[in-house]
Structure 1
C-alpha cells in the first residue's frame, strides 16, 4: 500500500506494572476496535496510547495509576521505533526514551542503545517531540509565546476523547490558547511552511542586530558628526600624511641637534636603556600577534571542517530517509533475464528474498536501523551546531584581540623607530622644545589612528546596516509570498475536510434534520468549534457524531491528498456516555470502515466501543479480547 508522509502507525502497546506485563496487544494499519463493557478499561487503553505518543495526561484511572510504564512500538513513515514513558500521576512534562527498532529488538538491546529525550528542548539536547517529528518529516514549528510545537499539541487534534466538551474540536487542556490551536491546525492542514518560521526567526535575529547597530551609529554620530564635518577615512589619511611629514622633519632636527650635542660634549652619558625596553615590548607584542593569528587560523580550519561535517550529517539524514523509501520498494525489483548471461529467469518468487540470488532480506530490520541512525545523527547535528556556535564566538573574540594587539604593536614600532635613529642623550635641555613638538605630533597621529578605527567602524556598521535592511526586506517579501500560498493551501484543505464531514453527516441516521442535506460545514481551529449551516446548537448525541465526523473527515481528506501534514492517524473514544444510541454508533462504525476501505494509503483509526457493529466483529478489525468488568483490559485486580 502507498504511504504519504507523515504516517504514524501504532503496531504494539505493552504496559508494565514494575517488571510485570499487565497489557500486551498488537495493533495494525487500518481499523482497530477496542471493545468491551462500560467501565472495563477501553478509554484507559486509548489514554495510554495518547500518553505513550507524547501527550500530557493527568486524569489517570485507578488501574492506570497502578501501572509504572507504557511502551509503544510504532511505525514512523515505515521506520520502526519503540517509545517508552514512565507513568507519573503528574502526567505532564515527562521525558521519553526512544529505541530505533522494534519492541522485541529493544528487549534484547543494551540500555546504551536507548536515547532519553526531555519534554522540552535544551541547549544541547532536542526534545522527544523534535526527535519524533524528525522521523515523521514534520517541520519544526514554533509559536512566539509557547516555544516549539510538541507531540501533545498535535495529538490534541488526533484524539476525540470522552472528557472534552463535545462542542470543541481540540482535546481540552487548561490555559488553552487560540493562536496555538491555529498554528497546530495550519500545520496538520499542510499550510504551515517551515521556511516561514525559519525566515521569521532570521528576521527577529537580524532586527535585533539592526537595532543594536542603529543605536551604536547614533552614539558615534552624536560624538563625531558635529566635531569633524566630512569625517571619512580619506580625510583621516590626508591628515595623517601631513602630520607624519611634519614629524619626520622634526625628527631630522632632533637628530641634527643631538649629533651636534654629542660631538661637542664628550662628557655627556649616552644610554640605550629606553631603546632596549621599547624593543622588548615590540618583541612581546610581535609574539602575541603571531600566537593570536595561529589561533585564528586553527579556528578557521576547525570551523571549515565542522561546517563540512555538519553538511555531511544533514546529507546523511536525507540519504537515510531516501534509503527508507528504497527499502520499501526493494522487494518489488524483478529481473526477466540474468544480468550476466541474459538467460531467462524462471522459478517461483521467494518471499522476503532476492528472486535472483535467493539471499533473504529483512526490510523491517533495515528500517529499524535507519530509524536509530536518524535519531543518532539528529543528536550529533544539534551538539555539533552548539560547538560550532561557540567556535565562531571565539573566532570573533580572537579577531578583535588581533586588531587591538596590532594597534599596540604599530605604536611600539613607531617609538622604536624614532629611538633607533640616534641614541638619546640624558641632557635634553636644549632639545626640549623639539621633543615636545615631536610628542605632540605623535599624539595627534595616535588620535588619528583612533579616529581611523572609529571611521572604519562607522563604515562597517553602515554597510552592515544596509545589508541587514536589504536582507530583512527580502525575507519579509518572501514570507508574504509564502503566506499567500499557505492561505490558498489552507482554504483548499478546509474545503476538502468539510466535504468529507458532509459525506459522513449525510450517512448518519435521520436524527438531526440539518445533517440530512448540509449546505455548509464550517470550522475554525482558532475558535475551536464547528458549525453546520451556521448552526452549532445540537443535542449532545448529535454533537458527538459531529465531532467524531470531523476527526474522521480530517483523516479521510489527508489519506486522499499528500499535501496534508496530518499523520494519517486518529483515535475516537466510545460514544455510549454521550447518549448516542447503539444503532447510531454502529452506523458510524460502518462509516469508519468505509473511509478506511476507500483509502489507498497507509493509515490507522483506533476506535473504542461497547456496542460493536456485528460486521466488524472480526480479527481483521478488533484488538484483543472483549473486556468485561470482571476481565478488564488492563490485567490488574483491585482488592
Structure 2
C-alpha cells in the first residue's frame, strides 16, 4: 500500500495505574474497532489515544482518573516513536518522547526520553513542534490565536460523543474562527510551506519597515524640514572641513601668543598636561585594540555558528530522506556479487530481516526510530544555536558602539596632544588654553556638525534599506497572490473530493433520511463549523450522527486517495451510535467503512467505538482487545 505523508498510525496503547498496566492493546493500519457494552469504557480508550497524541483533556471519567500514565507507540511517516503523558486534571501537561518502540524504551535509561512542554518558549520547543516536524507539517502561526498545536489539529480528527453532533470540530470554548479555518485549510493541503514562509517573512519585513519608517520620521523632526533639504552628508562634510580650517588658524594664533607669554615669564615650566594627555591616548589605543580583537573573534564565531546551523538544517532534510531509504532498504536484493559477479545463492536466509548479501540482521524499525531521535535532537540544537546567535549579534552591536565611542575619544585626545607637543607652558598658560578649548565656539560647532553628519549618514542608510524592504514586500505580496490562487484551486479540489466520499456513504445509508438518498452536494465550512446537504442542515438526531461520522470517514478517505492533503490519514469516530442510531443502521455504516478502507490507495487508520459491532467484523482483523462489559470494562482496574 502506498504511503502518503503525513501519516499517523497508532500501533499500541498502554495505560498504567502506578507501575501496573491496566490496558495494553495493539492496533493496526486500516479499520480498528473498540467494541463493548454501553458505559463499559470504550470512549475512555479513545480519550486516552486523543490525550496521548497531544490533545488537551481535563474532563476525565472516574476510571481514567484512577490511572496514572498513558503510553502510545506510533508511526509518524514510518518513524516509530513512543509518546507518554501523565494523566492530570490540569490543562497543558507536558509530553515525553522516546525515539523507538515501547518495548525498547523499557530497556533504556530515563535520560533516553526527551520531555517537551505543552507551550513553547523562547528557548524550548513544545511537543507540537516536535510532532509536526516528524510528520513533515508546517509550524503555522496566527496573528490572534498564536501557533497551531497538535491539540487543535486533533479536534478535526476525533469525533467524540460529548461535542454537539451538528458541529465539525471537537467542542472547545473561546475558540477563534480563523483558527478553525486555518486548521481546515492546513489538513486540506491548502496551506503550503512556501506561502507560510513568505507570510512569516512578510511579517518580519513589514515590522522592520515600520520600525525604519518611524525612525526616519523621528530623525526628520530632529533635523527640521529646512535642514532635510540641505543637510546631506557631502554638504555637512564640506562645512565641517571649513570649521576645521578656522580651528587650526585660531590654534596657531593661540600658540604664538602663549610662546610670547612664556618668553617673558618667570613661571616654572610644566609638562604635566602633556604627560597626562599622552597616557590617556595610550590607554584608548589599548582599549581600541582589545575591542577590535573581540569584534573580530565574535564575527568569526557568528560565521562559524551560521555554518553550523545551516549544516544542521541540511542534516534534518537529509535525515528525512534517509527515513524513506530505511523503510525500503530491506527490499534490496543482489542477484550477483558486486565484486566478482558470481551468481549468489537465492535461498532465503533464516533471519527474517537480514542483508541479502552479508546476512547481517537488519531492523528497519530501529533505524527509523534512531532517525526520528536524530531529527528532534538536531532541531533542539538548531533552536539553541539560534538563541546563542541572537545573543552574539547583540554583543557585537554593543562592541561596535563601544569602538565608535572609543574612536571619538582617541581622536579628540590625539588632536589635543598634537597641539601640545613641543609647547612648554606654565600652569597659568595651561589653564588659559583649557578654558579657551572648553569655551570655544568652533569646537562646539564641529561637534554639532559631526552629529548632524552622522545623522545624515543614518538617514541615507535607513532610506536605502526602506526602499529595499518595500521592493521585497511588493515582490512577496505578488508571489503570495499567485500562491493563494493556487491554494484556492487546491482547496476547491479537496472540498470536492471530501464531498464525493461523504456522498458515497450517505447514498448507501439505510433509507432513513430522504435528503441523504439523493444528495447532490455536501457543503461544509470549517470557519462556521457547520455541515449542510443540498443546503439543508435540519435532520433527525440519528441522521446528524451518521452525517458527522460520514464526514470524518470521508475526509480520511479523500486524503488517502490524493497525496496533496496534509491530513495525517487518521481519525477516531465515537459518534456512530449517538442520538439513537439503530443497530441495523450502525452495522450498515460499519460495513461501508470497512469496504471503503480496503480500497483506499494509501496507508491510513480509522478507529471507531461501537456497542453494536457487525457480526462480519467481529474478528481479529478488525477488533482491538476483548469485548468490554460493565462488569469487565476496558480498563482492568479490578485486577
With the shorter chain as reference, the TM-score category is over 0.9
Query: Could you tell me how far 1:332 is from its partner in structure 2?
Result: 1.6
After superposition, the Cα gap between the structure-2 partners of 1:522 and 1:637, relative to the gap in structure 1 and judged at 3 Å, is same
Contact 2:189–2:567 at 8 Å: present in 1 too?
yes
RMSD: 2.1
- Is residue 553 from structure 1 mapped to residue 515 from structure 2 by the alignment? no
The aligned residue for residue 157 of structure 1 is 156
Which shows bigger deviation, 413-422 or 121-130? 413-422
Query: Could you tell me how far 1:26 is from its partner in structure 2?
Result: 0.4
The aligned residue for residue 134 of structure 2 is 135
Gaps of 5+ in 1: none
Q: Taking structure 1 as the reference length, what is the TM-score of the superposition?
A: 0.96
1:66-114: CA deviation from partner (whole Å, max 9, x where unpaired): 1111110001111111111111123x21111111110001111111011
Which shows bigger deviation, 253-262 or 527-536? 253-262
Gaps of 5+ in 2: none
Which shows bigger deviation, 471-480 or 382-391? 471-480
1:483-540: CA deviation from partner (whole Å, max 9, x where unpaired): 2221111111111111111111111111111111211111010011111111111111
The aligned residue for residue 3 of structure 2 is 3
After superposition, the Cα gap between the structure-2 partners of 1:136 and 1:419, relative to the gap in structure 1 and judged at 3 Å, is same
The aligned residue for residue 413 of structure 2 is 412
Q: Taking structure 2 as the reference length, what is the TM-score of the superposition?
A: 0.96
Contact 1:210–1:469 at 8 Å: present in 2 too?
yes
Query: Could you tell me how far 1:268 is from its partner in structure 2?
Result: 3.9
Query: Could you tell me how far 1:433 is from its partner in structure 2?
Result: 13
The aligned residue for residue 69 of structure 2 is 69
Q: Give the distance between the partners of 1:21 and 1:305, measured in 2 at CA.
A: 49
SS in 2 for 1:331: helix
Which shows bigger deviation, 435-444 or 32-41? 435-444
The aligned residue for residue 49 of structure 1 is 49
Q: Give the distance between the partners of 2:522 and 2:434, measured in 1 at CA.
A: 96
Query: Could you tell me how far 1:574 is from its partner in structure 2?
Result: 5.2
1:592-622: CA deviation from partner (whole Å, max 9, x where unpaired): 1122111122111111111111211221111
The aligned residue for residue 290 of structure 1 is 289
The aligned residue for residue 506 of structure 1 is 507
Q: Give the distance between the partners of 1:29 and 1:65, measured in 2 at CA.
A: 29
Q: Give the distance between the partners of 1:237 and 1:269, measured in 2 at CA.
A: 42
Query: Could you tell me how far 1:200 is from its partner in structure 2?
Result: 3.1
The aligned residue for residue 60 of structure 2 is 60
The aligned residue for residue 201 of structure 1 is 200
Contact 1:250–1:438 at 8 Å: present in 2 too?
no
- Is residue 377 from structure 1 mapped to residue 378 from structure 2 by the alignment? yes
Query: Could you tell me how far 1:329 is from its partner in structure 2?
Result: 0.9
After superposition, the Cα gap between the structure-2 partners of 1:429 and 1:273, relative to the gap in structure 1 and judged at 3 Å, is closer
Which shows bigger deviation, 613-622 or 184-193? 613-622
After superposition, the Cα gap between the structure-2 partners of 1:34 and 1:433, relative to the gap in structure 1 and judged at 3 Å, is closer
Q: Give the distance between the partners of 2:9 and 2:153, measured in 1 at CA.
A: 15
SS in 2 for 1:442: helix
Following superposition of structure 1 onto structure 2, how do residues 129-528 of structure 1 map, counting pairs within 5 Å?
129-226=128-225, 228=227, 229-262=229-262, 264-265=263-264, 267-350=266-349, 351-426=352-427, 428=429, 439-528=440-529
Contact 1:257–1:431 at 8 Å: present in 2 too?
no
The aligned residue for residue 101 of structure 2 is 102
The aligned residue for residue 534 of structure 1 is 535
Contact 1:254–1:434 at 8 Å: present in 2 too?
no
Query: Could you tell me how far 1:249 is from its partner in structure 2?
Result: 2.7
SS in 2 for 1:607: strand
Q: Give the distance between the partners of 1:75 and 1:226, measured in 2 at CA.
A: 66
1:351-390: CA deviation from partner (whole Å, max 9, x where unpaired): 3112122221000111111111112111111111111111
1:54-76: CA deviation from partner (whole Å, max 9, x where unpaired): 11223311211111111100011
Contact 1:251–1:438 at 8 Å: present in 2 too?
no
Q: Give the distance between the partners of 1:545 and 1:42, measured in 2 at CA.
A: 19
The aligned residue for residue 582 of structure 2 is 581
